[in-house]
Amino acid sequence: MPEPLINLTIKKIMDLMTKIISLCKRRGFVFPSSEIYGGFSAVYDLGPYGVELANNIKKEWWKVMVQEREDIVGLDSAIFMHPKIWEASGHVSGFADPLTECKKCNGRLRVDHLLEGINIFADEKMTEEEINQLFDKHKGEIKCPNCGKNDWTKVKKFSLLVKANLGNFTDDWSRDPVYLRGETCQGIYVNYLNVLDSNRVKIPFGIAQIGKAFRNEITARQFIFRTIEFEQMEMQYFCSPAQEMEEYEKLRQNRWQYYLNLGISEKNLKWHKHENLVFYAKEAYDIEYNFPFGFKELEGIHARGNYDLSQHGKFSGVILDYADPKTKKKYIPHIIESSVGVGRTMLAVLTEAFNEEQVKEGEIRTVLKFPARLAPIKAAVFPLLGNKPELAEKARNIFNDLKKVFQVEFDDSGNIGKRYRRQDEIGTLYCITIDFESLEKNTVTVRDRDTMQQERVNITELKQFLTDKITKASSY
């Protein structure tokens, strides 16, 4: 096994981030939005390998959260919802970030982030007035990260909700706005009764959903870590007041284990306990990942009490009580939630997988060592020489056979070394080469991405060989 060239923990932060961003663009994982028009800030498009990786991440999450659970069902609610939902949830009045502007370079920055940089932690519940006072006290110590100057405007709270003019045929956007959802879980809460009435579910049970969310983020500058349009994977678990904390502990343990099973090393994960809880919350933890720019939130796991259903009960006028089938006692279910972004998971998986190795004197290979289930391409099929019809035909037959089961690629261009390097950079697990011996003995060489070792495998056994390798891969 080749030695890693550089120990990532001591690498320069931006160096690694720049390399990941550049690889993502070069190889078709992530593209900046609207690039031919000069770009569109904080929005990204997924390229051919990016969409495969994202789909594999979502498949994995769904498998663990829904398929393998008898007590959790899936949902796909719409992005547009009744605007009152966002009043009930508190988003219209409270979903706002504190913003300041650097008077020198006009850079807009989040005040809570600037304060965090000098180890002052603002409370989420603070009013504009309170956060202004706190910022006034400390702003002399804070330099603008863009231009290094120290001249700030007053703090303003800036709503994160994105408005749409749906059904509004006037030019006044502020009138009766409809919102693009700021989080997917509200769609779960308002369907709680539908799921209860139409499915054989009993408390405790969960509803899981994957979908887009939109936020007017002020500082969205960390690639796919923070974007204004993103995809969330959320699971809301409904339980009795007495079950809440026990179920919460179970959920925390499950989610930690999930990341280890995803091939994330434990040293790169950390719990962060929220000290300043919103008034209704019982407990809140984030799982943080060691991104190239440091430990930051990957997932939130919160015990939310009965706030969400109480609010929707109040605002809709519909009774959302649950009647316990045994005791007949009625109560408003309490909710624990797990909430994570697809983009943030992708960035964690890419950071974890990114390796540079010295293969020979003066030769470095870049390889994405994705766990088998997440790898966008499972195998690439190469005829040794592209211009030999008998090799090409045999390779095509193998490719056509494998593509029914796995995501595979065919490549007959350039020398074999170049083809290997390209596949290493996109994290393909195996490269299968059809050579002259293949014509005589019906065998191929299979090269392992991580060890670069090759072995000969009979073509009739190839599908089973790959299935065994992929399902038994050690990191899974």
Smallest distance from ligand ATP to CB 61, Å: 12
Is residue 227 near ligand ATP by the rule CB under 6 A? Answer: yes
Length of the chain: 476
Q: How distant is the alpha carbon of residue 299 from its chain centre?
A: 9
Other CB atoms within a 10 A radius of the CB of residue 419 amount to 20
Cα distances (angstroms) measured from residue 66 to each of 57, 195, 311: 14, 14, 27
Report how many residues bind ligand ATP under the rule CB under 6 A.
16
Number of neighbours of residue 315 by Cβ within 10 angstroms:
14
Q: Which is nearer to ligand ATP, 255 or 449 (CB)?
A: 255
User: Which DSSP helix (H) or strand (E) runs through 44?
Assistant: strand 44-46
Question: Shortest distance, CB of residue 219 to ligand ATP, whole angstroms?
Answer: 10
85 touches ligand ATP (CB under 6 A): no
**Cα three-residue angle 285-290-295, rounded to 5 degrees:** 55
Determine the Cα–Cα distance for residues 190 and 193; give it in Å rounded to an integer.
Answer: 7
Query: Near ligand ATP by CB under 6 A, which window of 7-15, 227-235, 308-316, 360-368?
Result: 227-235
Binding flag, residue 226, ligand ATP (CB under 6 A): yes
Q: Is 110 in the site for ligand ATP (CB under 6 A)?
A: no
Nearer to ligand ATP, 297 or 425 (CB): 297
User: Is residue 211 part of the contact set for ligand ATP (CB under 6 A)?
Assistant: no
Q: Spell out the SS3 assignment of 380-441.
A: EEEECCCCCHHHHHHHHHHHHHHCCCCCEEECCCCCHHHHHHHHHHHCCCEEEEECHHHHHH
Which amino acid, residue 363?
E
Whichever of 374 and 395 has its CB closer to ligand ATP, that residue is 374
Residue 303 or residue 340: which is nearer to ligand ATP going by CB?
A: 340
Give phi and psi for 308, each to the nearest 5.
-65, -50
User: Cβ(210)–Cβ(232) under 8 Å?
Assistant: yes
Within residues 177-206, the interface with ligand ATP by CB under 6 A covers 183
From the list 169-177, 272-280, 323-331, 334-342, the region that binds ligand ATP by CB under 6 A is 334-342
Distance (Å, whole) CA 183 – CA 165: 19
Task: Identify which of residues 196 and 210 has a Cβ nearer to ligand ATP in the complex.
Answer: 210
Burial 262-272 (b: 16+ CB within 10 A, else e): bbbeeebbeee
Give the one residue of 27, 139, 252, 344 binding ligand ATP; rule: CB under 6 A. 344
Q: Does residue 299 bind ligand ATP (CB under 6 A)?
A: yes
| Residue 339 touches ligand ATP, criterion: CB under 6 A | yes
Binding ligand ATP (rule: CB under 6 A), the pick from 297, 356, 425, 450 is: 297
Q: Are 54 and 346 in contact (CB under 8 A)?
A: yes
**Which residue, 98 or 343, is less far from ligand ATP as judged by CB?**
343
Among 152, 205, 230, 248, binds ligand ATP (CB under 6 A): 230
Identify the residue among 101, 217, 247, 424 touching ligand ATP (CB under 6 A). 217
Nearer to ligand ATP, 228 or 384 (CB): 228
Is residue 232 within the footprint of ligand ATP (CB under 6 A)? yes
Interacting residues with ligand ATP between 122 and 161 (CB under 6 A): none
Name the 3-class secondary structure at 444: strand
From the number of C-beta atoms within 10 Å of its C-beta (0-12, 13-18, 19+), residue 38 rates as exposed
Among 204, 206, 300, 427, binds ligand ATP (CB under 6 A): 300
Residues forming contacts to ligand ATP in the complex (CB under 6 A) are 183, 215, 217, 226-227, 230, 232, 297-300, 339-341, 343-344
